[in-house]
């Protein structure tokens, strides 16, 4: 679906017409520039590549420099392809946050915060085993048994255990657009969005 690239600014809260406090996330969405138009005849599919957030020219490779010069735009840090855009777009066109309207629903994807190596209590919400008394040693946050010895004599695939947590792609569906601020390129959506502050996000209709 069509969409734009943005950046997470932070969280805030707003009051609705009934006086209810609504948690919201503020995003800086756009302006995004069309850096490439893919067609069915040349590439085998139709799509539009958008660029967001300017990048210093000295940090761009020769190949990327030629790519941006062809579109006659400044080098961009983030490039994402979108399909099924409503309007016809050509190289160098700019799309702003006004692509979205208040009240509609959007899907937002980003990279979640990295939590490092975590145990089962934090990673999967285990309660921990045993009591703290009666000779209990250091097993309060342990996962417990992960498989029987004689049968099946192995650990099943997919067993919830300790390991790397976070730093993965997450998509949140059906977030309502609360407010659009065109003069500051801001989009306010209801609820939370994956990623840390200033992390790149992709907002799709």
For residue range 140-191, list pLDDT tens digits in order. 888 888 988 899 899 999 999 999 999 999 999 999 999 999 999 999 999 9
- Indicate whether 12 and 98 sit together in one domain: yes
Structure token pair of residue 202:
């992709």
Q: Is the dihedral of CA 90, 93, 97, 103 positive or negative?
A: negative
- Beta-carbon contacts of 148 under 8 Å, excluding residues fewer than 6 positions away, are none
Say how many domains are in the chain: 2
Structure token pair of residue 35:
């850096």
Residue 141 lies in domain: 115-166
Position 123 scores a pLDDT of 95
- Indicate whether 44 and 142 sit together in one domain: no
For the entire predicted model, the pTM comes to 0.84
Position 32 scores a pLDDT of 93
- Indicate whether 53 and 147 sit together in one domain: no
Position 26 scores a pLDDT of 97
- Indicate whether 78 and 41 sit together in one domain: yes
- Indicate whether 108 and 122 sit together in one domain: no
Instruction: State the Cα–Cα distance between residues 52 and 28, nearest whole angstrom.
Output: 11
Position 192 scores a pLDDT of 95
Position 141 scores a pLDDT of 87
- Indicate whether 16 and 89 sit together in one domain: yes
Position 49 scores a pLDDT of 93
Low-confidence spans in the chain with pLDDT less than 50? none
- Indicate whether 52 and 102 sit together in one domain: yes
């Amino acid at each position: 679906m069509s969409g734009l690239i943005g950046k997470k600014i932070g969280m805030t809260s707003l009051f609705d017409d009934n006086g209810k406090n609504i948690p919201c996330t503020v995003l800086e969405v756009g302006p995004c520039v069309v850096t490439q138009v893919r067609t069915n005849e040349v590439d085998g599919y139709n799509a539009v590549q958008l660029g967001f957030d300017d990048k210093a020219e000295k940090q761009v490779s020769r190949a990327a420099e030629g790519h941006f010069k062809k579109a006659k735009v400044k080098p961009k840090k983030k490039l994402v392809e979108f399909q099924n855009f409503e309007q016809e777009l050509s190289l160098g066109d700019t799309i702003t946050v006004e692509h979205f309207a208040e009240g509609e629903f959007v899907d937002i994807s980003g990279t979640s915060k990295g939590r490092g190596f975590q145990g089962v209590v934090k990673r999967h919400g285990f309660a921990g085993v045993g009591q703290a008394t009666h000779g209990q040693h250091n097993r309060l946050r342990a996962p417990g048994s992960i498989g029987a010895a004689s049968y099946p004599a192995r650990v099943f695939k997919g067993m919830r255990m300790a390991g790397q947590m976070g730093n993965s792609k997450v998509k949140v569906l059906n977030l309502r657009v609360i407010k659009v601020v065109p003069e500051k390129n801001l989009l306010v959506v209801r609820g939370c969005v994956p990623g840390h502050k200033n992390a790149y996000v992709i907002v799709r209709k």
